[in-house]
Amino acid sequence: MLKLDIRKLLLLQAKACLNTNELAEKATIPRTTITNIVHGKRNATPKTIGLLAKALNVEVSELIFNEE
């Protein structure tokens, strides 16, 4: 099961100098989806994690918790 690491997402978003609206547009997902995920109101699906990774130009593994 993939679990999005919100801290990593926010760090990569900051590194890319993107606000939530810009990230949502680049990832082709609604801004409210990202907001709800960040605030713990919704879990990220594998597709959403993939779209976020693609928008941030990183591998999916950089956005998920290490399951070691």
Give domain status of residue 67, yes or no: no
Give domain status of residue 13, yes or no: yes
Which CATH number covers residue 50?
1.10.260.40
Give domain status of residue 30, yes or no: yes
Q: Which domain holds residue 55?
A: 6-62
pLDDT tens per residue across span 12-45: 999 999 999 999 999 999 999 999 999 999 999 9
Give domain status of residue 1, yes or no: no
User: Can you name the residues that pair with 64 across neighbouring β-strands?
Assistant: 4
Give domain status of residue 41, yes or no: yes
Give domain status of residue 40, yes or no: yes
Instruction: Count how many domains the chain has.
Output: 1
pLDDT confidence of residue 42: 95
* Rounded distance between C-alpha atoms, residue 38 and residue 6, angstroms: 6
Give domain status of residue 68, yes or no: no
pTM value is 0.93
